[in-house]
Structure 1
Amino acid sequence: MKKNSGITILIFCIFVLQSCFSQQQMAYHSLQKKWMLVEMGNFSKEQLIKANAFIDLQQKDKKSFANMGCNSLIFSYKATSGKIKFPPVASTRKLCPQQMEIEQYFQNILPEVESYMIEGHFITLKTSKGEVIKAVAEDWD
């Protein structure tokens, strides 16, 4: 009887661990999307939408992209369990006076981001100072 109890406990533990792993993988896969910015700094939602501002996180550990209405912004990232790290951002060098302020802000804040949270179709990227970038999944209808 003790042998059967031990096996039952072992099987239960395996299911619990697999469930935790599956939830982490699901959270990671939900991170890998193209996200349309709706909130960042003092910029209005309308400004971000007009600029077609997005961050594309579909390529983990490879080149990821963003655009704030002018230049292509290139970076990589590493993410685990709600934590995320971005190195400095590289970009093309076009001059677009109306989008440069949004782009410069994004380039400065992104390397400071250290956590993320996904709620429904929204992602919130957050710095240690509490600054936020919020975006909605592009494939959300």
Structure 2
Amino acid sequence: MKKIVSGFLALFALLILANCSTQKTTTSTMIEREWMLVEFHDFSKEVMVANKANMNLTHVKSTSKFSAKMGCNNMFGTAIFGKNGTVKFSEVGSTMMFCDQAMELEAAFGKALPTMTKYKTEGHYLILSDNNGNAMKFLAADWD
């Protein structure tokens, strides 16, 4: 009887272990979210927070489209993230309203974004960089 119970417990434990798996987080899952710009050129974090500078990549996997806002105009375009850490931003455009406070940040961001060719994620951060060492750092908007 003891062998039957031990055998049953061993079989039960084996079945439970066989059904356990780790959840894989794919690159696209990590990237597909809203991001707040926190480091870019010589702009202070306070300026970026005050302008609510952000980029929305929630639909980049299904549509390759992104949107961004640096305080005034809506920016948009195509973003393709490769599995090997490459990124390509193209067809970047924006609305054309004039806003005194945000124009410098918007112009710099709009000019720099198409030059970004690499990306990496570090914890809750997304870092975009170009071939010259220039970078943009974003913080996941859903991170507490």
Question: What TM-score results when the alignment is normalised by the length of structure 1?
Answer: 0.80
Helix, strand or coil at the partner of 2:104: helix
Segments of 5+ residues of structure 2 without an aligned counterpart are 1-22
Q: Give the structure with higher Rg (CA).
A: 2
Q: How many residues align?
A: 120
1:121 maps to what in 2? 124
Does 1:57 pair with 2:57?
A: yes
1:33 maps to what in 2? 33
Does 1:76 pair with 2:78?
A: yes
Cα distance between partner residues in 2 of 1:41 and 1:134? 10
Amino acid at match of 1:35: W
| Pairwise CA distance, 1:58 | 1.2
| Pairwise CA distance, 1:139 | 0.3
Helix, strand or coil at the partner of 2:90: coil
Segments of 5+ residues of structure 1 without an aligned counterpart are 1-21
CA contact (8 A) 2:64 2:80 kept: no
Helix, strand or coil at the partner of 2:117: strand
Question: What TM-score results when the alignment is normalised by the length of structure 2?
Answer: 0.78
Amino acid at match of 1:115: K
Which ranges of 4 or more aligned residues in structure 1 deviate by more than 3 Å?
none
2:141 maps to what in 1? 138
Higher deviation after alignment, 57-66 or 113-122: 57-66
CA contact (8 A) 1:88 1:110 kept: no
CA contact (8 A) 1:88 1:107 kept: no
Helix, strand or coil at the partner of 1:49: helix
| Pairwise CA distance, 1:121 | 0.4
1:67 maps to what in 2? 69
Amino acid at match of 1:71: N
